[in-house]
Amino acid sequence: MKLSVETCRSGDVIVVRCEGRIVYRDEAAALSRVVTEALQHGKEIILDLAAVPMIDSAGLGELVVLHMSADRSGNSLKLAGPSPLLCELFDLTNLSSLFEIYPTLDDALE
């Protein structure tokens, strides 16, 4: 399943809704383009991962690069709604200590 990425604004926050896999090549590159653009227009970005069934190592690497880019520019990048499988992946790779991860989009928006 190809990655579909859509942005919307909720107050001062830009929500990037992802649907599909975040994997090597086109999907990771598409996410990078959208989030990089969003970082130019908002201080706080939330990636809604509720409809993302899988992230591979390239996708994880891209999330780390985006987090570092947001951090360097004084912005924040939060993750919302990851499945139990993705939560386990973030724990196994120790990325759960790097990202602010929320169980739902509503929790991240509060």
Please give the average per-residue pLDDT across 61-72, as a whole number.
96
The CA-atom distances, in angstroms, between 28 and each of 9, 78, 103 are: 22, 17, 22
Domain edges within the chain: 4-109
Whole-model pTM: value is: 0.94
Confidence of residue 11 (pLDDT cuts 50, 70, 90): confident
Q: What are 9's strand-pairing partners?
A: 14
Please give the average per-residue pLDDT across 100-105, as a whole number.
98
DSSP state of 40: T
Instruction: Tell me how far apart the alpha carbons of residues 1 and 19 are, in angstroms, rounded to a whole number.
Output: 9
The CATH classification number of 4-109 equals 3.30.750.24
pLDDT digits (tens, 9 = 90+) for 35-49: 999 999 989 999 999
